[in-house]
């Protein structure tokens, strides 16, 4: 993990990094990145780490992610990390990535659900992204400011869920997840292996995700503690209060 | 409205009353029931009033209701009221009420959904309870400690929803509702007339309420702001954090 820049504002230190060609960003409460013994002592089991997965067409520094990272660092003292998903942000795009971006826009504009093609493409992105996230967790936990043993939460909707659910299924270090705005047969098998607490967000009128498909994905989690929040509106109309609630969910579980 | 007793503990004053033979209870932050001008001036548009509807087989002083009333009064400064539903608490029971109580117990024990008989019976209770609640709102708003123009929230699950939904449909003074643990065709028509913000609680494994019936009732509310929270577990296993969240919902909207 190579850190390429560092800046501090509003109580949050942002450190950009690359790891094996994957560009990412780490946010920490200002003052903590030095990893001084006092700082680590304040979180003896390791600082909770929140991984933010962005949506399709977005990237690691999308405004919503940056705002969420700032709140998680300043309100709860979490370390927060985001990386660009394959084909997103600063990463190279294939012709297929370009087609995917166009198709998502068309589906949203015309109110049609995710096609089998899109589901296949995002599943392929997830297959690549899961080991990338795992390498990021490895590297971040070697930092004094994070520590080796803290809880890890994943927050990601839409494409963030397509990646986050198989990540949570594969990696027992993930101890809580916020997922949603997704639902497809291709996710069911991974969801059946996610046993940690889950908060699952559904938009009742999601153009991309049929209601039954979203409910079926929620149903598939065997987690004893899972909670579904549904609100009216389309894929891009998640109410702000749900974002706040989901941060409180992570604060409760990390 | 005739007040029959008054006591104060833990910052809450509880005043029991009867109104046209219906026994009820009013909780207020301690110190406010005098209705002194200073107190009323502190809530110039009227003190928010929360109506608590109890579940089937419960009553106005069920422990969950009393705890909720105390939190609403001390944390948010609300006035809170509960009345015994027809055939419940201190009210006379008919033979049919007794059969209903027995049948609910049997349905829960054997994991069967609400029968057409039970739905008919609770709908009849609601028909009687709606004007009773409206008379209570009239009377409480004549008290200085409540005032004539404040917002009114309704909190009621299960039988509380069977009564609360038609009440909210009939009475424009209700400005927000917490409903749930219910869902039946007989409620749909009333739900279609509820346009205020609604928080709707679903138990994913509710023995009495098929999942589709609960989702259909949520779907029926035309409210622009409605939010569904679903959690694993049976009819009687609502998580405590949902009760807290529902009180915050009322605090946001009243």
Q: Is the pLDDT of residue B33 over 90?
A: no
Residues of chain B neighbouring A176 (CB-CB closer than 8 A): none
Q: How many domains, in total, are found in chain A?
A: 1
User: Tell me, what's the pLDDT at B43?
Assistant: 56
Domain boundaries, position A51: 2-253
Output the pLDDT for position B204: 97
pLDDT at B35 over 60: no
| Number of Cα atoms under 13 Å in the Cβ half of residue B182 | 29
**Contact status of A64 with chain B (Cβ, < 8 Å):** no
CB–CB of A252 and B241 under 8 A? Answer: yes
Residue A40 pLDDT level (bands cut at 50, 70, 90): very low
CATH number at residue A78: 3.40.50.1820
| Interface contact A227-B231, CB threshold 8 A | yes
Q: What is the full DSSP assignment across B111-160?
A: T-PPPHHHHHHHHHHHHHHHHHHHHHHHHHHTSTTT-SS--EEEEE-THH
- More confident call, A32 vs B126: B126
Predicted confidence (pLDDT) at residue B40 exceeds the cutoff of 50: no
Of B224, B227, B232, the CB nearest to A230: B227
**Model confidence at A226: pLDDT above 90:** yes
Q: Quick check: B229 and A232 CB within 8 A?
A: no
Size of chain A, expressed as the number of residues it contains: 254
Q: What is the pLDDT of residues A94-139, one digit of tens each?
A: 999 999 989 998 999 999 999 899 999 999 999 999 999 999 999 9
| Residue range A205-229: mean pLDDT, rounded | 96
Residue B72 has pLDDT above 90, yes or no: yes
| Residues 6 or more apart whose Cβ sits within 8 Å of residue A189 | none
> Which pair of tokens denotes residue B66?
């009393």
Q: What does pLDDT average to over chain B?
A: 93
Say which residues have a Cβ less than 8 Å from residue A225's Cβ, sequence separation at least 6.
Answer: A197, A198, B231, B232, B239
State whether B232 and A252 contact (CB < 8 Å): no
Beta-carbon count within 10 A of A40 CB: 18
Interface test with B, best of A213, A222, A229, A251 (most B CBs within 10 A): A229
Q: Please judge whether B232 and A224 are an interchain contact, meaning their C-beta atoms are less than 8 angstroms apart.
A: yes
Residues in chain A within 8 Å Cβ distance of B219: 204
Q: With beta carbons under 8 A apart, name residues in chain B contacting A240.
A: none
The pLDDT > 90 percentage for chain B reads 91
pLDDT in tens, B207-252: 999 999 999 999 999 999 999 999 999 999 999 999 999 999 999 9
Does B74 touch chain A if contact means CB atoms closer than 8 Å?
no
Closest by Cβ to B229, choosing from A227, A239, A252: A227
Mutate to test the interface with B, among A219, A223, A228 (most CBs of B within 10 A): A228
Indicate the average pLDDT of chain A.
93
In this prediction, residues B25-29 reach a mean pLDDT of 97
Supply the pLDDT for residue B41.
Answer: 42
* Residue A69 reports pLDDT greater than 90: yes
CB contact under 8 A, B219 and A204: yes
pLDDT tens-digit map of A49-65: 999 999 999 999 999 99
pLDDT of res. B82:
98
Q: Do the beta carbons of residue A140 and residue A26 sit within 8 Å?
A: yes
Is the CB of residue B235 less than 8 Å from the CB of residue B206?
yes
Q: Nearest CA of chain A to the CA of B227: how many Å?
A: 5
**Tokens coding B252:** 């946001």
Cβ of B241 under 8 Å from any chain A Cβ? yes
**Would you say residue A15 has pLDDT above 70?**
yes
Nearest to B228 among A219, A223, A229 (CB): A229
- For residues B147-163, give the mean pLDDT: 97
Question: Do residues B20 and B135 touch, judged by C-beta distance below 8 A?
Answer: yes
What is the 3-state secondary structure of A175-244?
A: EEEEEECCCCHHHHHHHCCCCCCEEEEEECCCCCCCHHHHHHHHHHCCCCCEEEEEECCCCCCCCHHHHH
Average pLDDT for residues B138-143, to the nearest whole number?
96
Task: With cut-offs at 50, 70 and 90, classify the pLDDT of residue B46.
Answer: confident
For residue A250, give how far its alpha carbon lies from the nearest alpha carbon of chain B (Å): 14
Least confidently predicted of A79-88, A93-102, A186-195, B62-71: A93-102
Q: What percent of chain B has pLDDT over 70?
A: 95
Residue A78 forms contact with B (CB below 8 Å): no
Q: What is the pLDDT of residue A38?
A: 43
Cβ–Cβ under 8 Å, residues A224 and A196: no
Question: How big is chain A by its Cα radius of gyration, in Å?
Answer: 17
Q: What is the pLDDT of residue A43?
A: 56
The Cα B241–Cα B233 span in angstroms is 14
- ipTM topping 0.95: no
A132-to-A63, A156, B215 alpha-carbon distances in Å: 23, 15, 38
pLDDT, one tens digit per residue, over B77-131 is 999 999 999 999 999 999 999 999 899 889 999 999 999 999 999 999 999 999 9
Supply the pLDDT for residue B44.
62
What confidence tier does A37 reach under pLDDT thresholds 50, 70, 90?
A: very low
Overall pTM > 0.95: no
**Closest C-alpha among B45, B18, B246 to residue B132:** B18
Instruction: Give me the mean pLDDT over the A199-203 stretch.
Output: 98
Q: Within an 8 Å CB–CB cutoff, is residue A63 touching chain B?
A: no
């Amino acid at each position: 993990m190579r850190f390429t820049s560092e800046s501090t504002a509003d109580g949050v230190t942002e450190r950009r990094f690359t790891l094996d060609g994957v560009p990412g960003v780490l946010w920490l409460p200002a003052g903590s990145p030095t990893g001084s013994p006092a700082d680590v002592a304040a979180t003896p089991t390791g600082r909770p780490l929140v991984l933010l997965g962005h949506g399709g067409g977005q990237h690691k520094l999308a405004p919503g992610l940056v705002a969420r990272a700032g709140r998680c660092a300043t309100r709860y003292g979490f370390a927060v990390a985001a990386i660009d998903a394959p084909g997103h942000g600063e990463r190279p795009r294939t012709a297929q990535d370009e087609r995917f971006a166009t198709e998502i826009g068309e589906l949203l504009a015309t109110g049609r659900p995710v096609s089998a093609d899109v589901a296949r493409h995002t599943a392929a992105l997830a297959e690549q992204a899961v080991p990338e996230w795992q390498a990021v967790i490895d590297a971040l936990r070697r930092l004094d400011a994070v520590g080796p043993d803290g809880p890890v939460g994943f927050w990601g909707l839409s494409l963030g869920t397509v990646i986050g659910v198989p990540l949570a299924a594969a990696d027992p270090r993930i101890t809580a997840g916020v997922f949603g705005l997704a639902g497809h047969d291709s996710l069911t098998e991974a969801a059946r292996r996610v046993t940690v607490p889950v908060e699952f967000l559904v938009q009742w009128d999601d153009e991309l995700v049929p209601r039954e498909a979203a409910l079926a994905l929620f149903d598939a989690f065997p987690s004893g503690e899972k909670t579904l929040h549904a609100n009216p509106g389309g894929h891009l109309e998640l109410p702000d209060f749900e974002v706040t609630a989901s941060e409180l969910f992570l604060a409760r579980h990390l």
